[in-house]
Structure 1
Amino acid sequence: MKVKEIMNKEFLYVKEEDTVKKVLDLMTDKKVNGTPVMNNNMEISGIVVKADIFRFLMEPGHYDSYPISAVMTTNLITAEEEEEVEEAALRLRKNNIIALPVINDKKALGLISLENIVDYFLKGIN
């Protein structure tokens, strides 16, 4: 099965200039642990997870004014919509992460998460 068949096509994303406070509030409200960060061309420029924000908060600063681009991870690990789910699952496991942005030409098409993959394999068992 291909990634595009089980990925989340509707997902939260934030902009590089959004503040750390705004992003943490959005993530908390939407009950997500991570989100892609987009530039002004709507190309993915990074990803931020709550752990990144919590590390940032350990140092005193301007939580309500710092842009999320100061906190995000720019070394992206991604998936492609045409790759096999098993390949994406191996990449998640190898890198000890919970979700991959699915991209095509720097555009985020969706997210594939451990939850999507577990659901996929459970359907195969039932």
Structure 2
Amino acid sequence: MGIISFQGARTKVKKQDDTLIKVSDYMTRDLITFTPEQSVMEVMETLVRHKISGGPVVNKNNELLGIISEGDCIKQLNESRYYNMPIDDANVERFMVKDVDTIDGNASIFDAANKFLETKRRRFPIIEDGKLVGQISQKDVMKAALMMNSQRWRIV
């Protein structure tokens, strides 16, 4: 006599398309930005006040010129002390990082996670039509993961 199964027919689990979970869905759009002419002291005050570690530097047309971070500010502090120069004279343009990695807003959140691991960056600006439209951080990727079922990586 054969084995009889009392288990009903199983429905096929739909495979989640990773491209549906996009960077643009989790990126921050309301950014604190800086200009190249701003003083490093002003940047430091803003970073401390808003509890952020850095931000994009843009021109008047909202085009990305660079990124300024806490580390860049610390470098300026160190140089001003070493050369006995006033810190008030230092502007963002001199200390910002100009070669900035960006990520496409249509990229999947998993592509962003891989890029964070590969580059050791903390944030990536998102550019659309030459303009800064947002930024994705490692924390934003973690927020996206929390919104998903970690067992199957599907949107809850």
Query: What is the TM-score with the length of structure 1 in the denominator?
Result: 0.93
**Distance across 1 between alignment mates of 2:130 and 2:65:** 8
Q: Which stretch has the larger CA shift, 60-69 or 14-23?
A: 60-69
C-alpha displacement of 1:39: 1.6
Q: How many residue pairs end up in the alignment?
A: 126
Any gaps of 5 or more consecutive residues in structure 1?
Answer: none
Q: Equivalent pairs: percent with the same residue?
A: 25
CA RMSD of the aligned region, Å?
A: 1.3
Runs of 4+ in structure 1 displaced over 6 angstroms? none
Correspondence for 2:34:
14
1 or 2 for the larger relative contact order (CA 8 Å, sep ≥6)?
1
Match of 1:76 in 2: 100
Structure 1 position 52 matched with structure 2 position 95: no
Contact 1:99 1:114 in 2 (8 A): yes
Matches within 5 A, 1:1-126: 1-60=21-80, 61-125=85-149
Query: Which one has a bigger Cα radius of gyration?
Result: 2
Q: TM-score, normalised by structure 2?
A: 0.76
Q: Is the 8 A contact 2:61 2:131 kept in 1?
A: no
Please, which runs of 5 or more residues in structure 2 have no aligned partner? 1-20, 151-156
